[in-house]
Structure 1
Amino acid sequence: MRGLFIFGPIYIIVTVVLGASVTASILVIQLAIAPLLFKYSKTFRRNLIFANIAKWPLYVNYDKPAKLGIDGARNFSINYHSKVDKCALKIGIWHILPRSLYEKNKGWFDGDTDREKLGTLMNSELVESNLPIMLYCHGNSNTRAASHRLLLYKFFQKMDFHTIAFDYRGYADSTNVLPSEDGVVEDSLKVYEWLVTTISKAKPPVYVWGHSLGTGISSHLLGNLQRLSEDVLERTTPLPQPNGLILEAPFNNLADEVEFHPLAKLVRWLPYFEDTFVSPFRSCPEHEFKSDSHLAQAPSLPILILHAKDDIIVPFYVGEKLYDAVVASRRSGDAPITLHSYPKEDRLGHKYICNAHDLSELVGDFVKRHRIMVVDVILLTGASLSASFLVLLVSVLPLMFKYSKTVQRKIIFSNCINYPKNLDFEDPMSCNAIGCRNFSINFYSLVDRCDIKLGVWHIAPSSMFRELFIVRDNLTPDEIFLKELKKTDNTIVLYCHGNSNHRASPHRLQMYRVFQELNYHVIALDYRGYGDSTCMRPTEKGVVEDVLQVYSWLVGTVERRSDQRPPVVLWGHSLGTAIAANLVVNMAELCLQRKMEPLPLPNALILEAPFNNLVDAIESHPFSKLVSWLPYYKGSFVKPFTLSSEYTFATDQYLAKVPELPVLILHSKGDRIVPFDLAVKLYNSIKESRKNCKRAPTQLHVFDRGHNDLCEAPGLPRVVGDFLRDIKPDN
């Protein structure tokens, strides 16, 4: 008993001390080590994503699949020189025969058959049998010999499918190289090329099945098949699309998979969660896996999505987001996409959809419906489509462009396009906008003679995140945002978006994050007819009036002596560049009409992907190439836009009248929507108008991107930061 009284308290003290130290260690890992590793270590992220160091089962003899319970299989390899890793690579592959062909050739697998003869036999069966072929892209960790993958091969064999299963670089018996997204896609491309070449004479139906990370790999492969065929394989004709794509437990993009992974709950409460854990996966080309973007480029590819609602590795939510994104990208007449979900009660989880009771019926029906090659479908329907297209091109479109103001307006503003759909703008976090508050500005429109409500977001700079998560002085989050805006010395960007969609479009969200990293406040609005703003037809005068009202609110909010005001920048993208230019040149007159106090000009105007005027933009648009050969092209497609009182968008004429305003033009040579030449014309026009007076800075910076992805250009923050640092607040 005496020992109990002595050692009992000691045991309790030791337990408490150890518990406290373990808790402290976990907290340090959670608050500091894990965020730093996620943000700054590409190697850590790649190992986490690909998990190729996990190899189970161990000591597998890949030359003998029969020892793993796989009948009718042979092992072989493809050797090639990788353009990604600049080295020689070997890819290990299994070809597993369908059940009927295995029974027919069973004797070939009883003894030590010559491998070369067996390969010749199986290749001939691959071509001559005309049975469906399933190319399997496995997920991360382990190898093609993992137990749940073996179950799926047996399912394929039972369905009488050929199976081609392979391991990417860094896995199993393939060359041990650290994988990257481009690398594993290159491996998949080489295997797919081998398959297409092998069956080129008979062309039996081919399907690609991806699981988990393999869905991101297969989506990248098939969404970019033409480009990869040209750039990687250096083929003059691209590889044909497969008959269909089956995605088991997919995600829409890797960043969302990380954000919504169950383990993210442990760190989601951190104010820097988005910046450290999620953002690195949005902007690193080694591992983005943007399946939603890739599949939007393959509208003719039939897709079947299979997902279990009790999947805790890849939540059903991100699979559903992928489905919604692909559906939104497809039009009438495009290939179908189907989502089949399994209830939690089935307990299929992440790896065992192969055990689903209805899988054979689902997959069998999908394969049966899409056995005809996509090329054959195009040939069968090509003649009728060509005739319809010609009628549309020669008569219907010219009449609509010339006589329908509604068509003209919808082409310019495209506010009928809303993607993503069904968003809750009042909850910016649900729209993937971090550090943001929603509010509205209400006013009476002198243009449309009605009340207008504008939906607006205030997006805080990253340095302010800490303030947002600390309750002070009993202030609400909205009051904290407003208080910070009133006292800030940081640059404030008023963002005027382009046509179509709304302020929550993915490329706009990415641009807001660039501003946040630069420590800028962002005020982003939706014009009338867009987002959650008043639903009505927009006009040039109407949307300029909208920006004026938001600008007036902003200037009033930060009102101080002119030498103490924070820099305010007006940023326009695409159509928004013309709206912003119209506002600055007509601001004094607009204020006078509305009996408002005169407003100061912004400190600078930044134009992203601008055009010089609407007429040139229409004539230079890629669509115009389809109709410019028509003798009545200009009279039907161009002239109507010069006569309208609702829109002129003459940016070059506007900016010739404000020589005192610093202007920065940002444009990409790869922009196919607003060609780079139009930005050069605008730049030259501004320089010409300022040559005989004291000129404010006018700069043009060129990037190697497209129309909507300038936000991803590595040099963008430096260019913008340097330009604004050179602008004095009183300019």
Structure 2
Amino acid sequence: MGNKASRAADANVNRLKQEYLTKKLREAAPKSPISQERGLHFIPQKIFVDQGTQTQKSSLSSKDSYIKKLGLSRRTLLVAFAVYLLSCLLFAISEPLQACMVYLHPPKWPLGNLQDLHYVHLQNARNIVFHTEDGLDIHGYHVFPHRMSPNSSQHDAELATAERIMLYLHGNGASRAYRFRIQVVKDLAVLCGAHVLAIDYRGFGDSGGWPSERGTLLDTQAVMHFVDNAVTQHGRAGKSRPRVYIYGQSLGAGIGVAMAHDARTHNRRYLPLLSGLILDAPFSSLKEAALTHPTTLLFRIFPPMQNFM
């Protein structure tokens, strides 16, 4: 009996000690709302996590984070799309922006004095200026088929009595002094035995003004007017008039076609001079050609915006 009573008393003491320690530990444990929120439960000498509560809370937290990220991305996309629409609208209503994209004329390349023939590697040539109907000066080169006298009046006379004349119309961007174009006019002069007139349209190189469809037509008309006057003033009786060929390259092909059409329908006085039209890398539609150019990528991103072109 004594032993049983002693063991019962010891068990009771141990139970009281355990309850006392548990109470003290609970009082000493931090009252963290985070631990409560995440389902942490404290038991003396043992800490365990309510896995169901933690998984549920973590899942909600991840969803909130994902939604926040998605919301930020959505706002960014909306802003980007608004900027995109505004850019397309500005292009659609701004003729200067359209001209810059079509003609790419603002970069004046190559740099330097385009009238320095030694600088542009044109020895057998002269500088020439054509005056347009609307009062602009269009600068160009007159490249000879062979060495000629430096006297400018003789140049006009030789031009008037030449067998053939090539009017070289270059593509968009840069200027008439671009190295590739210089080589083309040299080859035309030597291989075709022709006088070559290479011009910079208005807004290109050192020519004045701003390019436009109507403006480039006036520029080519100024060249034809110059040739027509030279033939009238210096032409020889009994000698046939020179044959004029338009050599249009890329954008120049479209300008050349417009010039030939104008000569057939309106300015028919130039028609007897025109003998041929040579198209190098032409296009059937300016819109179709533009849609393959890197500068129109903005309109290819969202196909319906192509209607603004």
Alignment of 1:332-411 (within 5 A): 394-411=84-101
Is the Cα contact below 8 Å between 1:548 and 1:587 reproduced in 2?
A: no
Structure 1 residue ranges without an equivalent (≥5):
1-385, 446-450, 469-475, 639-731
Is the Cα contact below 8 Å between 2:224 and 2:270 reproduced in 1?
A: no
Is residue 569 from structure 1 mapped to residue 245 from structure 2 by the alignment?
yes
Is the Cα contact below 8 Å between 2:160 and 2:241 reproduced in 1?
A: no
Is residue 413 from structure 1 mapped to residue 103 from structure 2 by the alignment?
yes
Deviation at 1:571, TM superposition (A): 0.8
The DSSP-based 3-state class of the residue aligned with 2:175 is: coil
The DSSP-based 3-state class of the residue aligned with 1:620 is: coil
Is the Cα contact below 8 Å between 2:157 and 2:230 reproduced in 1?
A: no
CA RMSD of aligned residues (A): 2.9
Deviations 1:382-416 (A, max 9, x none): xxxx99xx669834532332232221111112221
The DSSP-based 3-state class of the residue aligned with 1:528 is: coil
The DSSP-based 3-state class of the residue aligned with 1:418 is: coil
TM-score by length of 2: 0.65
Alignment of 1:528-567 (within 5 A): 528-534=202-208, 536-559=209-232, 564-567=240-243
Match of 2:190 in 1: 517
The DSSP-based 3-state class of the residue aligned with 2:277 is: strand
TM-score by length of 1: 0.29
Match of 2:117 in 1: 428
Taking only the aligned residue pairs, the percentage that are identical comes to 27
Is the Cα contact below 8 Å between 1:555 and 1:599 reproduced in 2?
A: no
Alignment of 1:463-542 (within 5 A): 464-465=146-147, 467-468=148-149, 476-489=150-163, 491-518=164-191, 519-534=193-208, 536-542=209-215
The DSSP-based 3-state class of the residue aligned with 1:440 is: strand
For the pair shown, the structure with the greater C-alpha radius of gyration is: 2
The DSSP-based 3-state class of the residue aligned with 1:454 is: strand
Deviation at 1:598, TM superposition (A): 5.3
Deviation at 1:501, TM superposition (A): 1.9
Alignment of 1:147-546 (within 5 A): 394-425=84-115, 427-445=116-134, 451-461=135-145, 464-465=146-147, 467-468=148-149, 476-489=150-163, 491-518=164-191, 519-534=193-208, 536-546=209-219
Instruction: Mark the CA change 1:409 to 1:483 in structure 2 (over 3 Å): closer, same or farther.
Output: same
Instruction: Mark the CA change 1:571 to 1:562 in structure 2 (over 3 Å): closer, same or farther.
Output: farther
Q: Distance between the aligned counterparts of 2:267 and 2:286, measured in 1?
A: 25
Amino acid at match of 1:429: H
Is the Cα contact below 8 Å between 1:495 and 1:571 reproduced in 2?
A: yes
Q: 2:275 aligns with which of 598, 603, 610?
A: 603
The DSSP-based 3-state class of the residue aligned with 2:160 is: helix
Q: Distance between the aligned counterparts of 2:155 and 2:272, measured in 1?
A: 23
The DSSP-based 3-state class of the residue aligned with 1:554 is: helix
Is the Cα contact below 8 Å between 2:167 and 2:244 reproduced in 1?
A: yes
Structure 1 outlier segments of 4+, above 4 Å: 390-393, 559-563, 622-627
Instruction: Mark the CA change 1:522 to 1:401 in structure 2 (over 3 Å): closer, same or farther.
Output: same
Structure 2 residue ranges without an equivalent (≥5):
1-75
Deviation at 1:429, TM superposition (A): 2.2
Match of 2:33 in 1: none
- Relative to total residues, which structure has the larger helix share, 1 or 2? 2
Is the Cα contact below 8 Å between 1:459 and 1:512 reproduced in 2?
A: yes
Instruction: Mark the CA change 1:506 to 1:482 in structure 2 (over 3 Å): closer, same or farther.
Output: same
Is the Cα contact below 8 Å between 1:552 and 1:599 reproduced in 2?
A: no
Instruction: Mark the CA change 1:598 to 1:403 in structure 2 (over 3 Å): closer, same or farther.
Output: closer
Instruction: Mark the CA change 1:554 to 1:623 in structure 2 (over 3 Å): closer, same or farther.
Output: same
Deviation at 1:492, TM superposition (A): 1.2
Aligned residues: 229
Is residue 612 from structure 1 mapped to residue 296 from structure 2 by the alignment?
no
Is residue 583 from structure 1 mapped to residue 259 from structure 2 by the alignment?
yes
Q: Distance between the aligned counterparts of 1:627 and 1:526, measured in 2?
A: 29
Amino acid at match of 2:248: G
